[in-house]
Structure 1
Amino acid sequence: MSALNLIPAFTVGLLGSVHCVGMCGGIVSAFSAAPAAAPLAARPFPVAVVTERAALDGAARVLAYNTGRIASYMTAGALAGGLAGGARTLAGLTTLQAGGYWLANLMLVILGLYLMDAWRGLARLESLGQVVWQRARPLMRFIVPLDSPLKMLALGALWGWLPCGMVYSVLMTAMFTGSGADGALVMLAFGLGTLPMLLALGMAGDRLRATLQTRAVRVGAGVLVLGFGVLGLVRAAGGGQAGWLDALCITAGAH
């Protein structure tokens, strides 16, 4: 798989990260904040140094959380791609893979509609996250308080397995690459696409989150993702043969 073929996954992550604002933004902002510094009178070093150290600590926590989250995405992608590849090899189901690209692009259409709040079918899938989280919550006792980058790394790794309609949309693409390595690469590209938004949220907090949750931003991102999905469906049907479309579409021809 070439780097060019990873652009769609990266772009979906970048545009779809407005959804991450609502699902992950709060946890990042809340848990990445550095511990309160000592009172002014008790500080043995200048206030400027305290502020700088707090900022660096906060940045380290945000980065650690996102590293753990993306690592979980890559693991899921490797498992999905490897299992699908094994099934295809054993059964010779090449037509199944071709159908999978149609389904992957259809998932992008659904994701675009979801981001626009035009149709919230994916919300039913995400509601399962509450059930999963209730079962996973006991694991939190091993990492709280979240007072170090290492614990934030563990939190991110745990959080990356929560059901998310956007993640599943791209995971479908990873599955039908038919390769564990390619599946991991697809999810890495997707995770890196979400990274700028969540890094910014971790540092800027509630003000940025409120802006990104406005309807105009969500609709704009949703329209673009919807467009990628529709273009991919047309490409999969043989309606667009230009090679540069591989950078914009998820199709069997791109793999």
Structure 2
Amino acid sequence: MQSIHLFPVFLIGLFGSVHCAGMCGGIVSAFSMAPPAVRAFPVPVATRGAPRVPARVLSYNAGRIASYMMAGALAGGLANGARTLAGLGGLQTAGYWLANLMLVALGLHLMDAWRGLAHVETIGGGLWRRLKPLGARLQPLDGAGKLFGLGVLWGWLPCGMVYSVLVTAMLSGSAASGAAVMLAFGLGTLPMLVTMGVAGARLRAAMQRRAVRVAAGLLVLGFGLAGVARAATGGQAHWLDLFCIPGLAP
């Protein structure tokens, strides 16, 4: 995989992170400020001597990205093994179409034009129900290590946006490449979530404005459509390489 192909994945994380502002805003506030209640995640408990807000934000986000990389490595490694055993070149072609159609769905989801991607989040519901109670064992959150651990759990929170990029990780060709894809994606989401962790609800409200969501959705939709166009031309439109997700052309 050429490193330049990771740039679109970074941008997908960057623009798609407006979705994080809505879905994960309460979690970010809980991790950073320790409010009294959060429905989506075990509530961190602030303790005397706990890391300051910037250190807390960086610690749990590092754990979150580590989980993304682990999932990417599993997806890339397993898919590569299955492709090798089956010996089917068509498997990658089908996966390439699926990955780009998932990006199209993500763009529509960000624009609130189609909410079907939300149904994909039920895939990870069973695993999440098993992992969620582990957060209680990490309290009190009196060190960066515990915050990192809680971030690792957060990384497995069911999320259609993450799943759409995991399809790309499956196409990457190896466990290492799959981890690299998810690292690029995670780094793309980092500016939004770090800033939101420090700035709080004000940024969260701004990112939920319809104009912001539509603009971000159109950009992600554009990446998906560029990939579909490349697939439809049999990989001949090489000028699309800069705008397409990683993976070999069909």
CA shift at 1:229, angstroms?
0.5
User: Mean alpha-carbon deviation: is it higher for 112-121 or for 135-144?
Assistant: 135-144
Letter in 1 for 2:27: I
**In structure 2, which of residues 89, 96, 99 is the aligned counterpart of residue 101 of structure 1?**
96
Q: C-alpha offsets along residues 200-239 of structure 1, whole Å, 9 cap, x if unaligned?
A: 0011000000000111111110111111111110011117
Q: C-alpha offsets along residues 152-203 of structure 1, whole Å, 9 cap, x if unaligned?
A: 1011100111211000000000001121111010000000000000010011
The higher radius of gyration belongs to 1
CA shift at 1:132, angstroms?
4.5
**Whole-Å Cα distance in 1 between the matches of residues 59 and 30 of structure 2?**
14
Contact 1:78 1:181 in 2 (8 A): yes
Q: 1:188 to 1:195 in 2, by over 3 A?
A: same
Question: Partner of 2:3 in structure 1?
Answer: 3
- How many residue pairs align between the two structures? 239
User: Mean alpha-carbon deviation: is it higher for 99-108 or for 24-33?
Assistant: 24-33
Question: Partner of 2:24 in structure 1?
Answer: 24
Question: Partner of 1:160 in structure 2?
Answer: 155
Question: Partner of 2:38 in structure 1?
Answer: none
Contact 1:228 1:249 in 2 (8 A): yes
**Whole-Å Cα distance in 1 between the matches of residues 247 and 131 of structure 2?**
36
Letter in 1 for 2:23: M
Contact 2:171 2:246 in 1 (8 A): no
Letter in 1 for 2:20: C
**In structure 2, which of residues 124, 138, 145 is the aligned counterpart of residue 143 of structure 1?**
138
**Whole-Å Cα distance in 2 between the matches of residues 79 and 30 of structure 1?**
29
CA shift at 1:33, angstroms?
2.7
Contact 1:5 1:254 in 2 (8 A): no
Runs of 4+ in 1 over 6 A off after TM superposition: none
User: Mean alpha-carbon deviation: is it higher for 243-252 or for 141-150?
Assistant: 243-252
Question: Partner of 2:202 in structure 1?
Answer: 207
SS state at 2:139 partner: coil
**Whole-Å Cα distance in 2 between the matches of residues 147 and 28 of structure 1?**
17
SS state at 2:168 partner: helix
User: Mean alpha-carbon deviation: is it higher for 204-213 or for 123-132?
Assistant: 123-132
TM (norm. structure 1) is 0.86
Question: Partner of 2:14 in structure 1?
Answer: 14
**Whole-Å Cα distance in 2 between the matches of residues 92 and 128 of structure 1?**
27
1:227 is aligned to 2:222: yes
CA shift at 1:251, angstroms?
6.2
**Whole-Å Cα distance in 2 between the matches of residues 242 and 170 of structure 1?**
22
Contact 2:103 2:164 in 1 (8 A): yes
Note the aligned Cα RMSD (angstroms).
2.3
TM (norm. structure 2) is 0.88
Letter in 2 for 1:234: A
Question: Partner of 1:89 in structure 2?
Answer: 84
Letter in 1 for 2:131: A
**Whole-Å Cα distance in 2 between the matches of residues 91 and 129 of structure 1?**
26
**In structure 1, which of residues 244, 249, 253 is the aligned counterpart of residue 244 of structure 2?**
249
Contact 2:172 2:246 in 1 (8 A): no
Structure 1: gaps (5+ residues): 38-52
Q: C-alpha offsets along residues 135-160 of structure 1, whole Å, 9 cap, x if unaligned?
A: 32321221122232221101110011
Contact 1:102 1:251 in 2 (8 A): no
**Whole-Å Cα distance in 2 between the matches of residues 146 and 169 of structure 1?**
31
**Whole-Å Cα distance in 2 between the matches of residues 186 and 251 of structure 1?**
8
